[in-house]
Amino acid sequence: MLGAAIKYSYLNAKTRTMHSKRLRPNDWHILEAAKDRDSFLRYLATTSYGPWVTEILEQKEQGDELFERRIFGALFEDYGKILRSLHDASSRELILSLFSRFEAENLKICLRALFTGLRKANVAHFLYPVEKISRLPWDKLWQQKDVRAALKLLEKTPFGPMLKHALPQFEAQGRLFPLEMAIDIACFKRIAAAAQAAGSRRDRARVSQILGSYIDVLNICHIFRLRFVYGLSPEEALNYSYPGGSLDLRTLHDIARAGDPASMAKVLPMPFAAFIHDVKGDMSGLRLKLEEWLVRRLRKAFLGSPFHLGVQVAHLLEKELEIRSLISLYQARIHSPASQAGEIVPRIFLKGGEPIVQAG
């Protein structure tokens, strides 16, 4: 325990400082009451997101897309601070593996652009600002003439093996879906491997609990989307589930084979069932309930002894959820001004003095 305290004391203090800058319930309510885009952004500029919002306010053109991507710069700054404070390779690999999910999104946009003949300038406003951390050969990727040439450049990256495996499906189907799924699965295989190798035994135990919960939520939402939005068969949806979660294959199989969204909600095990029992088969309602559950789980990492890598993972994942909720509320202020924050944002963000209770 003494060794862990020495190793994590500085990093833990830094992470708690970053965590203290999250939005407060009053911030959410003021943003909810914003009358338009500019008033929303002007208030958000007074919070810890100020440096990134100021840039967006100054660029009216493509403002919505700029907000939805550039605001993630606040999260990536925290990634950078944590990475600079970690010195052992296994711990850094864990944080980099989490970050690779954003590289994956940019990589999919790059492949789509190459597939459809678009230039980087046509899609630049959709890209995450990953350049300060990412080591993928972005400049060379954007210079390629087609998808196959780009895949050749990626052979020796963490995405290479899965993309090579999916290439025959891409060539047979003539569509990017197999490559996009391969990119996602490569990310989560990397995360699962990094979680099993990170730091000490205590680090691995706490990190596995946190990431297991996170991946369970992703898998439930992902299977729901593949089954009832894209119309995939249960077997196809299950085949594209992410590794590393706590739910076993039998449970995921039962979820995938549910005949409709309401039936899917009924077959979910505890503790998920207790949180989503009143969801009526609506994707946004299901996601919101699961995110509420997940935030509660993430905040448990800050209870008890703080000297483990789970604190950093929990902070990064909660900040990511906060930013995604900000984006949803921003979109609602523009397109659906009458909507309430409680319909868009996990309620735990909106409640002051909310006790951190055990969930599951």
Length of the chain: 360
In angstroms, the CA 181 to CA 265 distance is 24
| pLDDT attached to residue 334 | 77
Q: Within its chain, how far is the Cα of 53 from the centroid?
A: 20
Helices 283-299 and 201-228 cross at an angle (nearest 10°) of 180
Tokens 């990634």 sit on residue: 79
- Dihedral sign (CA 12, 105, 247, 217): positive
SS3 for 198-226 is: CCCHHHHHHHHHHHHHHHHHHHHHHHHHH
Q: What is the mean pLDDT of the chain?
A: 87
99 within some domain = yes
CA distances from 159 to 186, 237, 337 (A): 6, 21, 41
Asked if 70 and 56 count as a contact pair (C-beta separation under 8 A), the reply is yes
Higher pLDDT, 244 or 47: 47
318 within some domain = no
Structure confidence by residue, pLDDT tens digits, 199-236:
788 888 889 999 999 999 999 988 988 888 888 899 98
In angstroms, the CA 114 to CA 142 distance is 8
Domain that holds residue 159: 89-197
32 within some domain = no
Q: 72: pLDDT confidence band, cut at 50, 70 and 90?
A: very high
Task: Provide the 10 A C-beta neighbour count for residue 132.
Answer: 10
| pLDDT attached to residue 357 | 36
In angstroms, the CA 111 to CA 107 distance is 6
Q: 144: pLDDT confidence band, cut at 50, 70 and 90?
A: very high
128 within some domain = yes
Structure confidence by residue, pLDDT tens digits, 19-35:
999 999 999 999 999 88
Longest CA–CA span in the chain (Å) reads 57
Asked if 360 and 297 count as a contact pair (C-beta separation under 8 A), the reply is yes
Question: By three-state DSSP, how is residue 21 classified?
Answer: coil
Q: Which helix (H) or strand (E) holds 60?
A: none
Structure tokens at 196: 């099993």
Total domains in the fold of the chain: 1
CA distances from 184 to 103, 123, 153, 187, 222 (A): 10, 20, 18, 5, 11
In angstroms, the CA 343 to CA 254 distance is 28
Structure tokens at 161: 């093996």
159 within some domain = yes
CA distances from 331 to 64, 66, 67, 240 (A): 8, 12, 10, 29
Q: Flag whether pLDDT at 356 surpasses 50.
A: no
Structure confidence by residue, pLDDT tens digits, 257-298:
988 777 777 788 877 777 766 666 566 777 888 899 999 999
What's 241's DSSP letter? P
Read off φ and ψ for residue 87, nearest 5 degrees: -115, -15
142 within some domain = yes
Structure tokens at 299: 């905040």
169 within some domain = yes
144 within some domain = yes
Q: 62: pLDDT confidence band, cut at 50, 70 and 90?
A: low
